Chain A
Amino acid sequence: MKSSASKKLNIPDFRFTPTIDKVGVEERVARIQSRSIKKESKVEGMKMALNMIDLTTLEGKDTPGKVKQLCYKAQHLHDHYPDLPTVAAVCVYPSMVKTAKKALGNSGIKVASVSTAFPSGQAPRNIKLDDTKFAVDQGADEIDMVISRGEFLAGNYDFVFDEIAAIKEACGQARLKVILETGELVTLDNVRRASEIAMYAGADFIKTSTGKIQPAATMQVTYTMLMAIKDYYDKTGIMVGMKPAGGISKSKLALHNLIMVKETVGDDWLDNEWFRFGASSLANDILMQLVKQQTGAYQSGDYFSID
């Protein structure tokens, strides 16, 4: 319990987090996905979604050149379309933070860095802390950490809590996103429990996945996490952000996610301060849809830059 924030809170016993009925969640999600989002609300929603993207490249083969290109794209999504918003952030490995920070300059776009031995998190705590401090020192505005899924599944919730709290301290001013890697947690009960541990330990955001494990950001998982955020807010008055990541590549699914945010935690979360999409190819699909709304016809994918 190192985090200063956690001292003010009544930390619950994480063995007894609320249970989740999977069938019920599936029904609710199906209901949300039957919402019809058309015309102005569709355009408005897609622009909002663009502005919530963490444009991501997390590959072993990433180079400074590749990151620079991505940063240019982040600021110039599609110059043929006037008054488009920019994305929220660019998400990279710690070694690329400096390059990204420089390339983005004073555009207002944040640099997010994964850390804590991303994606597996299989490293000792001191190395995770060093990894985080390095990213922050390089200029990262946001840190995306992974939880220790092995410890979580073994029932060592205190270990997971303390680790998140320690990383939070190492983040300093940087906002902390805690990746639960829900594909490895398997059940929605576990997703709920991990969400609570992360929030009470000081997470600014909770995030579904690394993008390296399937399934990633399913609507069911995001719904479960949003309901946890809502309950946490009702209890503590503290807003926590949500970031589904991995598998959201179509604008329709992004819009369904937004309507889910609206109907669970409410309109206050419909802002990139509180909601993000971790995605690489979503931006282009939204751009294609936006242009289609203007012209009435789908353009070839070749008209949209692939970075």
Chain B
Amino acid sequence: MAKNKQQKAKASKKKTWDLSPAPESTSHVQLKKKYELYIDGKWVKPTSGKYFPSINPGNEEKIADVAHADAKDVDKAVKAARKAYDNVWSKMSGKERGKYLFRIARMIQERAREFAVIESMDGGKPIRESRDVDVPLAANHFFYYAGWADKLEFAFPNRKVEALGVAGQIIPWNFPLLMAAWKIAPALATGNTIVIKPAETTSLTALKLAELIHEAGVPPGVVNVVTGFGDTGAEIVNHPDVNKVAFTGSTNVGKLIQNAIAGTKKKSTLELGGKSANIIFEDAPIDQAVEGIVNGIFFNQGHVCCAGSRLFVQEGVADQVIKKLKNRLDHLYIGDPLDKNTDVGAINSKEQLDTIRKYIEIGKNEGNDIYESSCNMPSKGYFCKPTLVLNVAQSSKLVQEEIFGPVLTVQTFRTVDEVIQKANNTPYGLAAGVWTDKGSKIFNLTGKLRAGVIWANTYNRFDPVSPFGGYKESGFGREGGLHGLEAYVKLA
């Protein structure tokens, strides 16, 4: 032992081998200084003449100004969508609609690099994720729903399938392009026209997608993009000529939307918040489970509605898992979202960073054991260290509320019944993860966990073919797969 300690001491004196910066180039990216609204196939100035800046959270610099749409702009967009629905899109055969969708999918693939870079600049997520996850998945969603466009009668056998009309869609800032794809692709495939509003901090890829849709030759008015804040979104929700409201975002706003459309004929799907449980059993493959925990909560800085933000570890392996998890946290690269080696990028906005910090502060005041990664931090930009909250109680605010950041609460459990009870003890029900070597245990749990998506021995896996959506206050309706079509059709 003594000899080995010496060896270790000798080894520790060595200098470390560090990776040189490997930033993705931004020279190929085409961005305008100012973005107007995309209505009826044209770029139009906002009636109010107001614009707001889109900030790069990685360096706090302004990228572009974006138009702020008001009630008049939204009305224009809805009218354009109605006209396009009545005159063009509802009369077009599914086969022809499908061709447009295939074209959009291919064009996204062709411009994948530009989309990935803009997504990371505007939203702060690591280029590795926007390049390997967001953009390819967005293209895949268009491909997938393009295939359904002329096969709706097979999707719903013996039923008459009709589009709903004009769909008002409001999407969040965590997966700006991907959420636009999730919303636009099934709506167009089923013959609806669209007024879509991206989140105010991440409008750019949606606007680039509008440029692409324009170049694809999609008829004017079929897709309209209006940018702005919550007030713009409210105008879409409240517009009398919108037939369907599709929203992804916070549970609070989801409740407001339900209130607003109560008593109207508007259909809706809501994909809201989550506080998902990731459950590690003693017989799990521990090293892979640790990777799954990291991927579950630190993917996209934890800005994921289905993030595995509540970790439950069986007591027998708790010490081992926590030790390994801390070690793994220390090896994460945090920094420039455009660096190809960055694991954890920038928090999307100043406001969100403040919210996350507030929760960490609450955690400290509650007397929890807080562990922060020892990683280096950039001097500029909105960054937050990957954080563990250990020995935390089920009654803690950090366990009960959605933080939407790189903060993981860690609890232990002894029996299967106990963990099911604790995992379900939340107003949310979006996702869950189960890690065990025993298949029967997986099936026992998946039947009892009240969550829309349950992953076994993996986490945060997405595919256009697989439906996604929540239980309880995590919302209703499904996106993706055959189920995703149902949200945009009338069946007779």
Contact bitstring A263-283, B, C-beta under 8 A = 1, else 0: 100011111011000000000
In whole angstroms, what is the CA distance A269 to B5 when docked? 14
Stretch from A19-27, A91-99, A142-150 contacting the other chain:
A19-27
Closest to A259 in B: B19
Across the interface, A28 reaches (CB within 8 A) one of B5, B17, B19, B288, namely B288
Say yes or no for B446: interface residue by CB 8 A criterion: no
Q: Is the CB of B457 within 8 A of A268?
A: no
The stretch among B6-14, B84-92, B153-161, B365-373 that forms the contact with chain A is B6-14
B96 nearest CB across to chain A (Å): 39
Decide yes or no: A8 and B1 within 8 Å by CB, A268-B14, A270-B17 being known contacts.
yes
Indicate if the CB atoms of B5 and A268 lie closer than 8 Å.
no
Known: A19-B283, A19-B285, A24-B285. A41 touches B323 (CB 8 A): no
The contact string, 1 if C-beta is below 8 Å from chain A, for chain B 412-450, is 000000000000000000000000010000000000000
Q: Which of these, B1, B17, B22, B292, contacts A238 with CB under 8 Å? A: B1
Of A29-37, A69-77, A127-135, A166-174, the one touching chain B: A29-37
Q: Which of A20, A23, A24, A41 is in CB contact (< 8 Å) with B17? A: A41
- Determine the chain A residues whose CB is within 8 A of the CB of B437 once the complex forms: 19, 21
Q: Is the CB of A18 within 8 A of B285?
A: yes
With A24-B457, A36-B341 as contacts: A239 and B1 at CB distance below 8 Å: no
Query: Nearest Cβ in chain B — how far from A174, in angstroms?
Result: 16
Interface check A234, CB cutoff 8 A: yes
A18 to B282, CA, bound (A): 10
A48 to B19, CA, bound (A): 14
**B292 partner residues in chain A, CB cutoff 8 A:** 24
Number of residues from A at the complex interface, CB < 8 A? 38
Tell me if A35 and B14 are in contact (CB < 8 A). Answer: no
Q: Are B17 and A48 within 8 A (Cβ)? A: yes
Q: How many whole Å from A258's CB to the nearest CB in chain B?
A: 7
Q: A35-B341, A36-B22 are in contact. Are A267 and B288 (CB under 8 A)?
A: no
The 8 Å CB contact of A262, one of B17, B132, B284, is: B17
Q: A24-B457, A36-B22 are in contact. Are A18 and B11 (CB under 8 A)?
A: no
Assess the B17–A18 pair: CB atoms within 8 A.
Answer: no
Does A105 make an interface contact (CB < 8 A)?
Answer: no
Q: Which of A45-93 contact B (CB under 8 A)?
A: 45, 48
When distances are taken between beta carbons in the complex, the residues of chain B under 8 Å from A259 are 19
Contact of A258 among B17, B284, B457 (CB under 8 A): B17
Contact A24 to B14, CB < 8 A, known contacts A18-B286, A234-B323: no
Q: Which of A36, A48, A271 has the most CB of B within 10 A?
A: A36
Whether B288 lies near A25 (C-beta < 8 A) is yes
Q: Report the minimum CB–CB distance from B335 to chain A (whole Å).
A: 13
Segment 14-34 of B: residues with Cβ below 8 Å from A: 14, 16-20, 22
The interface residues of chain B lying within 8 Å CB-to-CB of A27 are: 291, 458
A239 and B323 in contact, given A18-B286, A21-B457 (Cβ under 8 angstroms): no
- A102–chain B nearest beta-carbon distance, Å: 29
Within 8 A of A (CB), among B257-306: 283-289, 291-292
* Residue among B12, B288, B292 with max Cβ neighbours from chain A (10 Å): B288
Interface: A40 (CB within 8 A): yes
Among residues of B, the one whose C-beta sits closest to the C-beta of A274 is B11
Besides A21-B285, A21-B457, A45-B17, 16 other A-B contacts (C-beta < 8 A): A21-B288, A24-B287, A24-B292, A24-B457, A24-B458, A34-B128, A37-B19, A37-B20, A41-B17, A42-B20, A44-B17, A237-B8, A239-B7, A262-B17, A268-B11, A269-B11
Closest 10 CB pairs of A and B: A24-B288, A36-B22, A21-B285, A36-B340, A21-B288, A268-B11, A41-B20, A39-B20, A267-B16, A19-B285
6 A-B residue pairs with CB within 8 Å:
A19-B437, A27-B291, A35-B341, A37-B20, A237-B5, A267-B14
Which residues of A are interface residues toward B (Cβ below 8 A)? 8, 18-21, 23-25, 27-28, 34-42, 44-45, 48, 227, 234, 237-239, 258-259, 262-263, 267-271, 273-274
